[in-house]
Amino acid sequence: MSESAFAPLPALPPPPTALLNGAALFLDFDGTLAPLAETPDAVDVDDDLLLLLARLRDQLGGRLAIVSGRSIATLRELGFGDFLLSGTHGLEFARPGAAVDAPPRLPAIDAVEAAFNAFVEGKPGLLVERKSISVGLHFRGAPIWDEEAGQLAKALADAHGLALQRGKMLYELRPGGADKGSALLALMQTAPMAGGVPVFIGDDVTDEEGFAAAAELGGAGILVGAPRPTLAAFCLEQVAAVRHYLAEGVAG
Ligand SMILES: O=P(O)(O)OC[C@H]1O[C@H](O[C@H]2O[C@H](CO)[C@@H](O)[C@H](O)[C@H]2O)[C@H](O)[C@@H](O)[C@@H]1O
């Protein structure tokens, strides 16, 4: 094997604060605005974060959206009701206070949920996350089941014609036809996001489509976390650095 196979990935530069001037800002949630926790329910959103995001949104003329794999119902429960939202990996959309625009929950998702629940029976640490139009199988609490859970998720996706979304210690099944990139492109068509330069901040492989779409429209992606092959142009090392960066944006 060549020596270059062992070469560390080059670190990306930190984003300049000026990138936020005139931006249309797209923010992932888990691992970007909130540190990852052992279970989906163990994540909280503090008032300081909501205040910071509200200030930044106002400063950007409203051009700030949360684009998450979480459902919009959950994002609203977490406190993001006043924000423009896209949930379930680009399948759902909602403006503040307005009804959710989303496809219906498919019977196939219920069938998968039942199969996931049967699989986790007697396997402590595994968790089924029921979501509005999708379902997740989490193995953060029992990583030894990664391979078997992945095989089950793949088989169920194939059997039911669903999309298999790999996340962090998570297999999620959902309808296809959308991702965070398509969400960004759709939101950029209308107010308030239209007219801004898209900047997408995210940590997960599911955010790569968002980075690509931002770059396609002349903007940029910001990867949160350790270096990895990515379409992002900039990097922030952790959630705390994201918050610091956004606060710098507010300060001017
Ligand atoms: O697009 P995101 O906002 O990053 O959402 C992606 C998924 O995040 C959640 O799962 C992840 O975070 C959990 C809490 O920190 C963690 O326990 C889990 O291991 C992670 O995969 C959420 O539960 C999913 O529904 C989202 O799709």
Q: Which among 127, 45, 121 has a CA at the least distance from the CA of 80?
A: 45
- Mutate which of 170, 174, 180, 184 for ligand 1 pocket (most atoms within 8 A of beta carbon): 170
> Do 136 and 160 belong together in one domain?
yes
> Do 73 and 198 belong together in one domain?
yes
209 within a domain of the structure (yes/no): yes
b/e code 183-205 from CB counts within 10 Å (16+ = b): bbbebbeeebbeebbbbbbbbbe
**ipTM of the complex model:** 0.99
Of 175, 192, 211, the residue that ends a domain is 175
> Do 187 and 86 belong together in one domain?
yes
184 within a domain of the structure (yes/no): yes
pTM (two decimals):
0.96
218 within a domain of the structure (yes/no): yes
Q: What is the DSSP string of 12-56?
A: PPPPPGGGGTTEEEEE--BTTTB---SSGGG----HHHHHHHHHH
Decide if pLDDT at 83 tops 90: yes
> Do 169 and 185 belong together in one domain?
no
> Do 202 and 223 belong together in one domain?
yes
> Do 193 and 68 belong together in one domain?
yes
Contact between 236 and 224 under an 8 Å Cβ cutoff? The reply is yes
**Mean pLDDT, range 30-44, rounded to an integer:** 97
CB of 30 sitting under 6 A from ligand 1: yes
> Do 157 and 183 belong together in one domain?
no
Strands (E), the chain: 23-27, 64-67, 84-87, 92-94, 127-130, 135-138, 163-167, 170-174, 197-202, 220-224, 234-236
CB of 140 sitting under 6 A from ligand 1: yes
Give the pLDDT score at 57: 98
> Do 40 and 151 belong together in one domain?
no
36 within a domain of the structure (yes/no): yes
Give the pLDDT score at 185: 98
pLDDT tens for 184-227 read: 999 999 999 999 999 999 999 999 999 999 999 999 999 999 99
Question: Which domain range does residue 74 map to?
Answer: 19-91+178-251
> Do 87 and 188 belong together in one domain?
yes
> Do 29 and 80 belong together in one domain?
yes
> Do 238 and 186 belong together in one domain?
yes
Give the pLDDT score at 1: 45
Q: Is 28 an active-site residue?
A: yes
97 within a domain of the structure (yes/no): no
CB of 92 sitting under 6 A from ligand 1: no
CATH code at 205?
3.40.50.1000
> Do 197 and 84 belong together in one domain?
yes
Q: Chain-wide mean pLDDT for the chain?
A: 96
Give the pLDDT score at 142: 98
189 within a domain of the structure (yes/no): yes
The total domain count for the chain is 2
